[in-house]
Amino acid sequence: MPTRLRSTVALVLFAALLIAGCAGLVQDSIEALLRQGIELFMAGRYTEAIGKFVEVVRRDPRSWTAFLYMARSYVATGAWGEALASGRKALELAPNNGEVVTALAEALLGAGAEALRRRQFTEAIGHFTEYVRFRPSDTQGYLNLGRSYLESGNLGGAVSAFRRVLELNPNDAEARRLLGTGR
């Protein structure tokens, strides 16, 4: 093999090894950032954790785990819009993961409660409707959905939601009270 060809082959092999090594370092740093973020999350340092997860998804936009923990961190801080966006992205990337569904449902419940508190009934109805699709046997979700409908003036929607509560739990005093008095 001529010297020039050997040099070219050696240079190509060296470049390939260098690129492979750099890719490994990048992956290691992504995994390290993810671990750091999870540790910060577990320690209740949610804002710092979010920063780590944002960096992970900047480097690896398909990291459903980073989106999951970002959603959980936003839920913990009450940043509902961000929690929903992160939870939905995690669900898009890992649609069959139970942890992702749980985190998104928690974000929907919190966002719905916040919208109800702000008297944004259409928004609350949307969040609670999506929530009960994920948690069809949760009476609290249907109670909140019914309250949202009731406050918005949609009595038919309210009655339907409260009836669903009673189907799930015939002894639910709150649903009985709301159905019986209208308030």
- 49's tokens: 């954790």
Would you place residue 106 in the very low, low, confident or very high pLDDT band (cuts 50, 70, 90)? Answer: very high
What average pLDDT does this structure show over 64-70?
Answer: 97
Residues 6+ apart with CB under 8 A from 175: 139, 142, 143, 146, 162, 165, 166, 169
Task: Write the pLDDT tens digit of every residue in 10-45.
Answer: 454 444 444 544 444 345 599 999 999 999 999 999
State how far the Cα of 166 lies from the Cα of 172, in Å rounded to an integer: 6
d(CA 167, CA 1): 82
Number of H helices, E strands in the chain: 9, 0
**Mean pLDDT of the residues in the chain:** 87
Taking residues 154-179, what's their average pLDDT?
Answer: 90
**DSSP labels, 106-150:** HHHHHHHHHHHHTT-HHHHHHHHHHHHHH-TT-HHHHHHHHHHHH
**Tens-digit pLDDT profile for residues 147-159:** 999 999 999 999 9
Mean pLDDT along residues 105-130: 98
Higher per-residue confidence, 17 vs 68:
68
Which residues are CB-contacts of 65 (< 8 A; sequence separation ≥ 6)?
A: 34, 90
Q: Which amino acid is at 77?
A: T
Cα gap 109→144, rounded to integer Å: 9
pLDDT band at 113 (very low <50, low <70, confident <90, very high): very high
Q: For the whole model, what pTM was predicted? A: 0.80
| Token pair 């949609």: residue | 154
**pLDDT value at 183 more than 50:** no
Structural domains for the chain? 3-136 (1.25.40.10)
Give pLDDT, residue 171: 86
- Band (pLDDT 50/70/90 cuts) for residue 135 is very high
Backbone angles phi, psi at 112, to 5 degrees: -65, -45
The pLDDT of residue 174 is 84
What is d(CA 49, CA 181) in angstroms, rounded to the nearest whole number? 46
